[in-house]
A and B are shown apart, each in its own frame.
Chain A
């Protein structure tokens, strides 16, 4: 027994436990580390995210802040205790039926908060749900699906029924493929993995945001019992760099310190506590170097270069000359718009485990957006030569949110190094502060618009100057800049454009991919500008947008002609109609201190990598003799739902019953490379690969079915698991497969789908840069309190043309999640950095939208089947934020009667800009 500890007894999920605990131990540590109950998650360790919520004696508590000794004699229920052996609790079932689960990291805490609510209130209303769950953060769903699930569960508990799974056809909303794991707490996220004899590693961070390392002194750390090694850059066997486009970010900094998130050393110890304590004892001596903390300073002539190549990471232009129409030009409108750093705020912090298999293969388990990219980079770091990629295996763990951040690895190289060097399994888990300081952010931008508008309200030409702060390292700087610039006109048909973009290095932070990949900021700025023009022309913002909208056969800024789509007008009209857009008659309505305003905005988004970058999806399907269909693809699902959608496409094509189908994803050893889960591309690209593989298999099975049915193959239809021909009856999947095996047919099919695009001309920025575009429009009603500055989004309508919708509930959950993320972007979120030192390192200072802040969101899908998409589908993940953000900003502008050319518009900023009353 450890000194200072006492034995406590309690019951967890009806099982009795008795164990010694120290006074410092929190209940979450006991559950996760000692009882192997890893369902409750760690999100912040400060009680502000709710992911660790459990129920103690009937009340929801934050177990990360609940001292374990207080649980003595208590009855504890965790997410693992909700379901009875095979029967889900109605709450769990309702979460799955309502699209309330995406990444699943907040799910255990949400379920337990809701469970405690239902214990004391069998008839909660919306307000009760919001109050009970206000301490639980969710970054994916936008809360509304969760609210609906809790209300549905309450009803089914009263009626003694439970929501059930539906069919798996395209257009239905079955329970997501990883849903049951996620609602029962069985789903393993990276930090939930444990291996025998595992070591734990903790990073040592730079003490300055800009400087040079003079000396790293590990002796004090090494003197602590349980410390195994302290690694520095000298211990890295291969290339000391991470970065897919440019390998520039050191795993462990060598000499130069370029930002506050640089990792200097790695302490490996027997326990996580020892590793952390020892990391604090490593002395890092540095000489400060004056840092550059703004784009202006970085571009100042004679500014000291952050990289040898200078302070410009990337630059590009897009130029399209339309017909001059000088006589009709009337107004020139100019605007300037700015944004700050935005944090993804993934509920799961960065974590990874690595171990060496019996055959000597290093296996790294971590969050991921592309296990194959991760493998390439890890090989390079460990010095594994090319063409020996079998020596390392990367497996995607369940991933607690991604939104672009998981494209730049943080924990995986550290865990891989610790394992490679000690030859023991190794684990690295960053805490929330480390996550904030070290990971990528959304690029801050400064955009200047200059439009020429004719007397009819048509924008004739647009000049844009866009500068983006990529921070200390490049990440995907040129690609993000390109997506930003290509979309910077907004979804409008503008005959002449001159767009110039530049991505700039600073020492402020580290920018990378985040939902929208640069287009979020440029579309927001464009819609701010368009609203400004409409206002100046005294035109209804809707009418103005329709007048300028991209339509079928319009040309985008890059000269790409749109085909096979009605583009923007259908979604704008759909949003306006459902929202009951007040139209030209509307005016600012002030009652007392409250002013109500309305905003509208449109967006478009290129699906896939674009720009001629090889964009491939691969899928393999194999039917086993018992009729089981095994589908494999490298496409990772981090909660947005691609796995479920891909399986739906397969089942719809083949008529395989769900119970006979299995999908494997995200494992470099067992699944074929399907590219990154980015750019809203997986439904479109890998969906097409799955469709192709399954269609080939179907062609093999059709003659068999025709013989069995004694029917013409042309007449055979597949419907709810049966192959049918009118007048010839039907056969089951099992009979069909038995016969196919009797005939020794090849029931293994692989397919690749290639999504061709054109690189933009480097001098003009012209070209067919994306294969297809999704369209979105949103309307928003906002109230502004003119006295205290509080802004509330009251209701929104979001209309999306993402082609045919495969899974409506998951799609809706994407849209509500995107809209709420957009509200945070516009109203509250900013990762503030002062002279290179971040000021927002927790969820109290970095303010996310919470349950109570969420508006009513009406989601409309305008399902124009895409001629190239699988079953007509396009992408949706990123478009979900794009139109929502400017719709909210424009509504705030409308309600306040003043323009805000910088986000976020916080109550303080609003008040400071309001004219004195």
Chain B
């Protein structure tokens, strides 16, 4: 067991877990933040994408010991009372959500991109979101939602 300290969505947390446990498992099973999804555990589908120090990562591939003292943002950070987050609003308005399972990962990947490049062109969006698989929408609406840039 190892004690790992980091921040999740602005709150400091400390977990006592096996050091090799994935960040995904810690988020979902230890911290009960189940917005981050479990799709493949192999870094192939992107459903588990979260931001670590602003960088989108597949949380299923990251051992939690590597997160010591770092800042993690999950989909739960996007929930706020009143006016929805612009990216959430864009996803809703552009019908970029069907079953919703890829959505948290998509939004985190898009958020990571927009933080770095507020005006990406369509090609950049395609390239950056290439690691996130969606089986429902055919991607077009997701790209458009990311492109809206409220």
Which of A's residues lie within 8 Å of B, judged by CB? 196-197, 423
Contacts and interface: CB of A to CB of B under 8 A. Distances in A.
A148 B81 CA distance: 57
Contacts of B81: 423
A196 B81 CA distance: 21
A92 B100 CA distance: 46
Contacts of A196: 32
3 contacts: A196-B32, A197-B32, A423-B81
Contacts of A423: 81
A196 B32 CA distance: 7
Contacts of B32: 196-197
A829 B95 CA distance: 64
B103 to A, nearest CB: 13
Contacts of A197: 32
B149 to A, nearest CB: 26
Interface string B20-37: 000000000000100000
A858 to B, nearest CB: 56
* Shortest beta-carbon contacts, A-B, top 3: A196-B32, A197-B32, A423-B81
A197 B81 CA distance: 19
B140 to A, nearest CB: 27
A578 B81 CA distance: 67
Nearest to B35: A358
Interface string B72-92: 000000000100000000000
A259 to B, nearest CB: 35
A172 to B, nearest CB: 46
A229 to B, nearest CB: 16
Nearest to B80: A423
A884 to B, nearest CB: 52
B20 to A, nearest CB: 24
A636 B108 CA distance: 44
A794 to B, nearest CB: 59
A197 B32 CA distance: 8
Nearest to A196: B32
Interface in B43-83: 81
A45 B94 CA distance: 57
A264 B52 CA distance: 44
A221 B46 CA distance: 45
A197 B8 CA distance: 15
A603 to B, nearest CB: 54
A146 B77 CA distance: 54
A423 B81 CA distance: 10
A484 B73 CA distance: 62
A230 to B, nearest CB: 21
Nearest to B32: A196
A727 B81 CA distance: 69
A196 B27 CA distance: 13
A554 B32 CA distance: 67
A423 B82 CA distance: 13
A423 B76 CA distance: 12
A25 B32 CA distance: 28
A197 B31 CA distance: 9
A793 to B, nearest CB: 55
B30 to A, nearest CB: 10
B116 to A, nearest CB: 30
A225 to B, nearest CB: 14
A580 B32 CA distance: 67
Interface string B94-111: 000000000000000000
B9 to A, nearest CB: 13
A87 B81 CA distance: 50
A763 to B, nearest CB: 53
B11 to A, nearest CB: 11
A197 B30 CA distance: 11
